[in-house]
Chain A
Amino acid sequence: MGKIKTARGVIYFFLVLLVIICFIPFYMMIINATRSNSEILRGFTLIPGNALMDNYDILNSYINIWIGFRNSLIIAVSVTVLNSYFSALTAFALVVYEFKAKNVIFITFIVMMMVPGQLGLIGLYDLASTFGILDTYWPLIIPAIAAPFTVFFFRQFLITTMPMSILESGRIDGASETYMFHRLVLPILMPAIATMGIFTFIGSWNNFLFPLVIIRSPRLYTLPIMIRQLQGSPVASNLGAIYLGIAISVVPIMIAFLFLSKYIISSITAGAVKG
C-alpha cells in the first residue's frame, strides 16, 4: 500500500509539472503584456509590469482587436447554426425516406470526407470572384450548409436513437413532416448537434486559410487574420503591445472554456466513440 502511495505522489508531481509546462507560454504572454518594450528586451521576469494601459493604447491605435472578435463570432455562430440545421434536415431525409438518389449521395459523402479542404480553394476563390462575393462573409458561411461529415454523424445518431414509431403516431395525428422534423427530430438530435456544433464552432473560429484568401477589408478581418496583421504591422516595434494583442485573442477563449470544459470534453468523447 505504501508503495502505491509513493507512486501516486510521484505521478501527481509529474502531472502538476506537465500542467506547469503547458501553461508557461500563457503565463509569459500575460506577464509580457503588462511590460514595456524596453523591459521585455532587457530580460524576463515572472512579475507583472505596469505598462498594460500603454500597451493597450499602442495596440488600439493600430488595430481594434475587438472587431476581430465580433467578426469571428458572427461567422462561427452562423456557420454552426447553418451546419447544424441543414445537416439535421439532410440526415432526417436520408434516414426517414427512401428515394432515388439516396445511395449516390451516401457514397459521395464517404469520398468527400477524404478530400482536403484546400482542394477547392482556388476554385472557390474564383467562384466568389465571379459572383462578386469576394470580401464578404458569404463564401465562408454558405458552404456550411453542405457538411458531409456532420450529416454522416447525425445519420448514425438518428438510426440508433430515433424510433420510427413516433413519426408514425405523429402522422396519424395529422402533423406535417416539417413540423415533425422541428418538434420531434431536432430535440432527439440535440446531443449530437451539441457535439458536432462544438467542433464546427472551433473549426470555424480557427479557420485561417479561407478568410485569408477571401477577406481583404480590415474591418471584416477575423481574429486569426488580425493576429497575422500584427506580425507585419507598426505594432511589431513594441513587443508588449504584441503580447497584449495575443493575450486579448486568447484569454476570453480560455475563460469561456472554463465554463464549458465538461461539455466540450464529453463531446470529444462522443465524437470519437460514435464517429
Chain B
Amino acid sequence: MNKTDDQTVAADSTAAVSKRKTKKKNHNHPYFYIAPFVIVFLSFNIYPILLTFYYSLTNYTGLGGIENADFVGFENYARLIGDSFFYEAFFNTIKIWGVNFAIQITIAMGLALLFSDMRLKLKGLNTFRALFFLPNIITIASVALLFSILLDWNYGSLNQMLLTLNLIDRPINWLNDPVLAQGWVALIGAWMWFGNTFIILMAGISGIPKDFYEAAYIDGANWWDTFTKITLPQLKPILLYVFITSIIGGLQIFDLPLLMTDGRGAPRGALNTMVIYLYNQGFSYANFGYSAAIAYGLFIITIVFSAITFKTMYRSQVKVKKGGRK
C-alpha cells in the first residue's frame, strides 16, 4: 500500500464521513483494526457458507469424510424442488409465523394506541411494558418444554384447569392435532414477542409530533381518521422494521416446535419447519448434502421475502410522498 493509492481512494469515496483526513500518519492502522474482523469473517462466515454450497452439490453423508462423497451436481436441488416434505415445511413455517404475527401485532398495536392516547393518560407504562416483555427473555428451550408438559393430554395443567372449571367435558389433545399444535406454537410465539413489538411501536408513536394530532382534533377528526391518516403512515418505517425482523426470525423458527413434540414435526408433520427439516436431514439422517441444499433453499426464500417487503413498502412510500404533494 502506498500513500497515493490510499489518498486517491479517499478522494473518490463518497462516504464523506470526515473531511479532515489529511494528517493520517500511519496508513496501516485501518487494516490492522479490521484484520480480526476480516479474518474471522472469512473463515467462520464466508468459508462455511461456501463449504455448505459445495456440500449441497454432493451426496455427503458425514461418514468417512468428504473425500468419500460423490459430486452430484444440482441433483439435491432438483430433489428439493420436487420434495413435498420441504413444501410442507415451508407452509408450516409460514402458517405458524403468519398467525403469530397477526396476534402479536394486533395486541401490540392496541396496547401502543391505548398508552399513547392523550385523553386516556394511562399510567404505569413502564411496569406494563416490562411485564409484557418478560416472556421474551426466557430461554426458548425452557418455554417449549414447559408448554409441552402444560399442554399434555392427560396430565397437563391446562386440561386439568379447564376440566375443573367445567369449560370442557374431556381433555383436548392439544399437541396431537396438526391445527391446534400449530396454533399453540404461533400463540406461544406471540406471547413471547408481543411485548417486544409493543415497546418498539410505542417508541415509534412517541416520535410522532404531538401537534399532528392536536391539529387533527381541532379539525374534528375522529379516532379512526387519526389512526389511518397520521399514526399508520408515520409508523411506516418502524412497521417495516418490525415486519422484516419478524419474518426473518419466523422463517428460522426451530427450538420451539422442535421441543414441543418429538423433534421430527409431530403431530403428522405439522410442526416440521424448514430449519427442523434441515437439521433432521443433516444431523439425524446424515444426508448432509441434501441438508445443505435445504439451507440454500431457506436462504433464497428469505431473500425473496425481504425483497417483496422492501418493494411493497418502497412503493407505498412513493405513494405517500405523491399524496403529500397534492
Contacts and interface: CB of A to CB of B under 8 A. Distances in A.
A87 B120 CA distance: 43
B214 interface: no
Given A97-B24, A100-B1, A116 B302 contact: yes
Nearest to B249: A116
A2 interface: no
A114 B302 contact: yes
A143 B30 contact: no
Contact of A114 (B26, B122, B138, B306): B306
A71 to B, nearest CB: 13
B63 interface: no
Dominant secondary structure at the B interface = helix
B257 to A, nearest CB: 12
B142 A246 contact: yes
A262 B133 CA distance: 11
B155 A119 contact: no
B295 A121 contact: yes
B149 A239 contact: yes
B44 A127 contact: yes
Nearest to A123: B48
Contact of B48 (A41, A124, A239): A124
Given A118-B252, A272-B203, A123 B298 contact: no
A93 B149 contact: no
Contacts, number: 286
B261 to A, nearest CB: 10
A253 B137 contact: yes
Given A44-B160, A93-B29, A98 B13 contact: yes
Contact of A122 (B55, B154, B302): B55
A142 B40 CA distance: 7
Contacts of B200: 268-269, 272
Contact of A18 (B9, B45, B132): B132
A29 B145 CA distance: 11
Given A22-B131, A265-B199, A93 B30 contact: yes
Contact of B207 (A4, A23, A96, A273): A273
A223 interface: yes
A117 B255 CA distance: 14
B135 A22 contact: yes
A122 B34 contact: no
Given A40-B155, A116-B252, A224-B139, A22 B132 contact: yes
Interface in A85-103: 86-87, 89-90, 92-103
Contacts of A275: 241
A93 B45 contact: no
A105 B21 CA distance: 20
A253 B15 CA distance: 42
B189 interface: no
Interface residues of A, number: 96
Interface string B74-111: 00000000000000000000000000000000010001
Contact of A121 (B1, B52, B114, B157): B52
A257 B131 CA distance: 10
A43 interface: yes
Contact of B142 (A108, A146, A250): A250
Nearest to B305: A114
Contacts of A249: 139, 141-142
Q: Which of B18, B25, B131 has the most CB of A within 10 A?
A: B18
A126 B278 CA distance: 16
B139 A223 contact: yes
A105 B18 contact: no
A219 to B, nearest CB: 18
B174 interface: no
Contacts of B9: 98-100, 102
Given A19-B128, A145-B36, 20 more contacts: A19-B131, A41-B155, A86-B36, A96-B18, A98-B6, A99-B6, A103-B13, A119-B296, A122-B282, A123-B52, A126-B51, A127-B44, A127-B47, A202-B137, A224-B142, A224-B255, A227-B141, A228-B259, A239-B155, A265-B133
16 contacts: A93-B34, A115-B299, A116-B252, A121-B52, A126-B51, A126-B66, A146-B40, A151-B37, A164-B20, A249-B139, A254-B138, A257-B137, A261-B130, A265-B199, A268-B200, A269-B203
Interface of A: 4, 7-8, 11-12, 15, 18-19, 22-23, 25, 28-29, 32, 40-41, 43-44, 86-87, 89-90, 92-103, 105, 108, 112, 114-124, 126-127, 139, 142-143, 145-146, 148, 151, 159, 164-165, 168, 171, 177, 181, 202, 205-206, 208-209, 212-213, 223-225, 227-228, 230-231, 239, 242-243, 246, 249-250, 253-254, 257, 261-262, 264-265, 268-269, 272-273, 275
- 4 closest A-B pairs by beta carbon, nearest first, are A123-B48, A98-B10, A120-B48, A123-B51
